[in-house]
Amino acid sequence: MLHKVTISGLAMDPASNTPIVLLKTEEGEKTLPIWIGLLEATSIAAALQEIQFDRPMTHDLFKNLTQIMDLHINRIDICDLKENTFFAEIHFVSKNGSFTMDARPSDAIALALRFKAPIFVDEQVIQKSTINQSSEILDESEEGKKWADYLENLSPDDFGKYKV
């Protein structure tokens, strides 16, 4: 089953100094954090804030090329999670048919925003993500327990809105 999601926010993981994109299901209160690269986070933030650059950035260049080729992105799916790596598919349509392309979720999200295409997450990805988050090795020290409690009680609102 696919769940339609929206971008709840962008944040920096203080432990690894890595950007995180937070996806939230439209129905229910499930949130999926995906750690992404800084350049992709910048591209996502630029699209969310509708910032236009003088010269096209990589995702803008790809959009320009697909439009010249008369292709459109119909939707993207975050379709799998293996060994802490998320996988996505970009669904293209044209007058000649449709096809799907494998992509990193961060690139797929950046393109979906530019095409105003919906973003979906497979139920199995949400379930695997929840299992991976709860099965990590815990630091049994007092400091570790404080961090575990803090992280467990985080909500998307704690991250702010689209800050990188």
Q: Is residue 97 part of a domain?
A: yes
Task: Report pLDDT digits (tens) over 106-119.
Answer: 999 999 999 999 99
The per-residue pLDDT for 130 is: 79
Q: Is residue 25 part of a domain?
A: yes
Where in the sequence is the domain holding 35, given as residue range(s)? 2-155
Q: Is residue 24 part of a domain?
A: yes
pLDDT tier, 28 (very low <50, low <70, confident <90, very high otherwise): confident
Q: Is residue 163 part of a domain?
A: no
Q: Is residue 161 part of a domain?
A: no
The per-residue pLDDT for 95 is: 93
**Do residues 12 and 158 make contact, with C-beta atoms less than 8 angstroms apart?**
no
Grouping H, G, I as helix, E, B as strand and the rest as coil, residue 123 is helix
Domain of 114, CATH number, reads: 3.10.690.10
The per-residue pLDDT for 149 is: 63
Counted domains in the chain? 1
**pLDDT over threshold 80, residue 133:** no
DSSP summary character for residue 28: S
Instruction: Report the DSSP beta bridge partners of residue 77.
Output: 89, 120
